[in-house]
Amino acid sequence: LAAANIQRAAIRAHLVSLLGPDGVIALPTTPGPAPPVNTPPAQLDAWRTRLISLTSIAGLAGLPQVHLPLARVDGLPVGLGLIGPPGSDEALLELTEGLAGLLLPGAEA
């Protein structure tokens, strides 16, 4: 546990240094479209492993993150995640509203 906490603190410090006081990290929220219901278990496990590498970043570092469902690929949803520095929750939501108004059809800014 102690070693994991040290590693988590290092990851957080690195991300906070990358973000600075007002930066944003933009990344896909999933490694691709949602897998079909009939995906074989081995492929589903591999997809979940890739998924966790994207979805755990903000939680691990204790940073705010929002998700924008931007598009569909082969009829399946894909999105964009935005991660902000500590305490940037409101600013991140304002940015998200602005982006939604520009990128999502029918969304109001």
109 in a structural domain: no
Q: How many residues does the chain have?
A: 109
pLDDT of residue 108: 56
Under the banding of pLDDT at 50, 70 and 90, the label for residue 107 is low
- Cα gap 81→18, rounded to integer Å: 16
- 18 located within any domain: yes
pLDDT at 45: 94
In a domain, 95, yes or no: yes
Q: What are the beta bridge partners of residue 66?
A: 82
Q: How far from 6 is each of 25, 59, 61, CA to CA, in Å?
A: 23, 15, 12
Whether residue 109 has pLDDT greater than 70: no
Average pLDDT over residues 54-69: 92
- pTM across the whole model: 0.84
Which residue range forms the structural domain that includes residue 55? 1-103
Give the pLDDT confidence score for residue 87 in this predicted structure. Answer: 96
Could you give the residue ranges of the DSSP H alpha helices within the chain?
Answer: 2-19, 41-55, 57-61, 89-103
- Tell me if 47 is assigned to some domain: yes
Q: Look at residue 43 in the predicted model and tell me its pLDDT.
A: 94
Question: pLDDT tens digit string along 3-59?
Answer: 999 999 999 999 999 999 999 999 998 888 888 889 999 999 999 999 998 889 999
- The total number of structural domains in the chain stands at 1
pLDDT of 51 reads: 92
* Residue 20 DSSP label: T
In a domain, 58, yes or no: yes
Say if 108 falls within a structural domain. Answer: no
